[in-house]
Structure 1
């Protein structure tokens, strides 16, 4: 959740001492802490901190000082940046740390004091990139997960962020700042949408609820959308999605949204396919009890593509995108699909079911085929797919499998711009051979060895040679403790990188 009234603006027409606020954030390098010029009203307090050696401007260091401004007590938040220029991720993290402090002190209005030497803080020397990183980081740093306590307090967080820099007279500088600031806000809002959806309890988000959330997003931005119910899926032959949803009283849904950024719906169309398993018990192949509550996050892929779509709608790049979300609840019951079953997917391929807990790849198989039918010319699928990727990469990096190295390399460049870590996994032919079944075209489980790769390649079979990337966010979509830009719980992983990739096409 974020403050619904939040706004970010730029000011350079007033001395910082005259701007009303409850908190002022200052980026301070080690050198500037020694030589920097601070407003007269702050000098005594800052001198005391210097004498006692409480703050040195070291990277990641955070320190607060009570000072007076316009005869009112405020909190000065010093954020150390170390000795060297920061990349966008460093600036983003600095803003996150400062934002968390503004929430702790209940600051409604916050001034972000930018040094006159601001561009020396950035390796890119790009005004818009700096504004983007700082705005995005600040908004994401104020995020708080919704709770459901009886005496629930309303969300408290900053309502206004004022970026302030003295003596800036170039109109182009201010224009570039606003471009970056608006883009940073759009990236943050898309990530927060994904976090909010992923954090919803399983009883508050079943497939029809996920479809309703997608419909609201489509109506907000004037998008074309479609939701197929189980009867329509039967007519089309979506056996993968229907099988996974067969054990639940909450029927599956196939959700489609279309973003048209070009004058015509032709040429390259990027397909975004997100796994929407709103809760995963494992089905007949039941998961262990411990940790099952975190399976509310098994629709993190669906949340990611919806969040990315929201960001795209705010920025409006000239690109056409189709979003496809196969959504189901994987439950055990008398009607559930079973190990040993043979199912037929939308593509016509048959699959031998060896493990009903390997369900994500089945719904994504139908999702990829449907995205192709809707005109996609290249596809990115996103899924909390395997525990194996967590064993390999922990909750630090997203695993990627692709059939197109240039496509994947472009996507990894986007991840470097956003600070989201993506690690390519090898797609060797030997792994593909492990998917062969004696009684069907494919089998849905190959055992422990290379499990995250074979799971990805199973999905890639349904791309049928079309450029395709699979992103396994099982480790990165939902984390057990706060770290860096990520809060505890849902992270909104891959929203920003997908959006960045599409925009830069």
Structure 2
């Protein structure tokens, strides 16, 4: 068994012979030298350096390791490949919370990093449903609507996006109810579950398609968040809707110029088959609205525009309700995650005009044009119940195409803790 590298924190500068190093070593002891204002970022970067040097086992020791510092160390240390190990420190409550976070994170990483061949839409829905069922027991019930049954129940968007694949699209409807049959639904959750995104007839270039197995990151993230909230004692009724499909090219695939008529009567012209996420989320948001839940949250790897706006270390958030934005930012800060609000005004609903339908699903220009992330949020807003509070999280920071200073390549799970805190604590 490999001996663990002991890792401690210190405010002291390194000895002169270490120069400006932020990690120094003495035998099997590594010291992370905290210098500057952002200790959490320094710790995560130090963990990446340790892992990059081939260190596979770390034991956190000494003073200064609070809950969030240990967690960001883990976020920097873990990799998509197995074989790493972390020993926590602190009291029983801290170690229990870290273990719960890690269980949820492992689920999200495994699902998001899975190959697209191994993760069909129905399999994604099935694995998510069974995992929540394992955590919630008889408090959980779910069903999976797939293939032509989606049309029968008027889930037009999921069916259209997924019909080009030989493997049927699906919607997961899950109910976590610890309160009894007549209890009101407090929160409704929606996740984008595109298990592979070729772009459809608006075909992506090869380099842009390579990591599109991650386009179901919203479904994985929102499911992981619900699972973590359940493990932490969630005592309210929550419904979860995952919108799962493969966006492929075939003789049955949906086409540019098609017009979709949704259950709520909104007509949508397809001007970009690579703007498919909003088409499937439209179904999920209608299903969420029908529950009567006062709070609706959706999570999706929706737009490249959000990545351009906030980078990969933040998730972009949108809501017409300033209180929802403020609460989300507060919850993110409390768990050492980063979110940033982008504009959303009523006129964003009309920023994708169509001569043939109520709206188009994008603008017929590269990348959807200026303000693309806000325009996508405006499109989604059309499918949210008027009296509901609503948060849309565009997951700019949920996946890394290649290893960097903070994250290994693959799923990051960034967003899970924020959403879990919202689910558990929102009024």
TM-score by length of 1: 0.76
Aligned partner (choices 445, 448, 473) of residue 369 of structure 2: 448
Q: Which residue of 1 aligns with 2:29?
A: 76
Q: Describe the shift of the 1:310–1:485 C-alpha distance in structure 2 as closer, same or farther (beyond 3 A).
A: farther
Aligned partner (choices 82, 98, 104) of residue 184 of structure 1: 98
Aligned partner (choices 361, 364, 377) of residue 294 of structure 2: 377
SS of the aligned residue for 1:202 comes to coil
Deviation at 1:270, TM superposition (A): 1.1
Deviation at 1:194, TM superposition (A): 1.5
Residues 343 and 374 in structure 2, CA contact (< 8 A), matched pair in contact too: yes
Aligned partner (choices 384, 387, 392) of residue 470 of structure 1: 392
Q: More displaced, 423-432 or 400-409?
A: 423-432
Deviation at 1:198, TM superposition (A): 1.2
SS of the aligned residue for 1:277 comes to strand
SS of the aligned residue for 2:189 comes to strand
Deviation at 1:292, TM superposition (A): 0.9
1:179 & 1:263 partners in 2: Cα distance?
29
1:456 & 1:391 partners in 2: Cα distance?
16
| Higher Rg | 1
Q: Which residue of 1 aligns with 2:189?
A: 272
Unaligned runs of 5+ in 1: 1-19, 34-48, 67-74, 119-129, 147-154, 165-176
Q: Which residue of 2 aligns with 1:420?
A: 337
Q: Which residue of 1 aligns with 2:402?
A: 481
Residues 99 and 139 in structure 1, CA contact (< 8 A), matched pair in contact too: no
Kindly report which structure 2 residues correspond to 1:71-470, keeping only aligned pairs within 5 A, or say none.
Answer: 75-82=28-35, 90-91=39-40, 94=43, 97-98=46-47, 101=50, 111-115=59-63, 118=64, 131-146=66-81, 155-158=82-85, 161=87, 163=89, 177-221=91-135, 222=137, 223-262=140-179, 266-267=183-184, 269-446=186-363, 447-465=368-386, 466-470=388-392
Unaligned runs of 5+ in 2: none
Q: More displaced, 92-101 or 303-312?
A: 92-101
SS of the aligned residue for 2:85 comes to coil
2:389 & 2:270 partners in 1: Cα distance?
27
Residues 135 and 181 in structure 1, CA contact (< 8 A), matched pair in contact too: no
Q: Which has the higher contact order (CA 8 A, sep 6+)?
A: 2
Residues 64 and 77 in structure 1, CA contact (< 8 A), matched pair in contact too: yes
Residues 349 and 381 in structure 2, CA contact (< 8 A), matched pair in contact too: no
1:212 & 1:179 partners in 2: Cα distance?
32
Aligned partner (choices 396, 413, 420) of residue 492 of structure 1: 413
Deviation at 1:280, TM superposition (A): 0.8
Q: Cα RMSD between the aligned structures?
A: 2.7
SS of the aligned residue for 2:188 comes to strand
Aligned residues: 417
Deviation at 1:107, TM superposition (A): 6.2
Deviation at 1:429, TM superposition (A): 3.2
Deviation at 1:192, TM superposition (A): 2.9
Q: Describe the shift of the 1:373–1:93 C-alpha distance in structure 2 as closer, same or farther (beyond 3 A).
A: farther
Residues 225 and 258 in structure 1, CA contact (< 8 A), matched pair in contact too: yes
2:405 & 2:189 partners in 1: Cα distance?
27
Q: Which residue of 1 aligns with 2:26?
A: 65
SS of the aligned residue for 1:322 comes to strand
SS of the aligned residue for 2:18 comes to coil
Residues 348 and 379 in structure 2, CA contact (< 8 A), matched pair in contact too: no
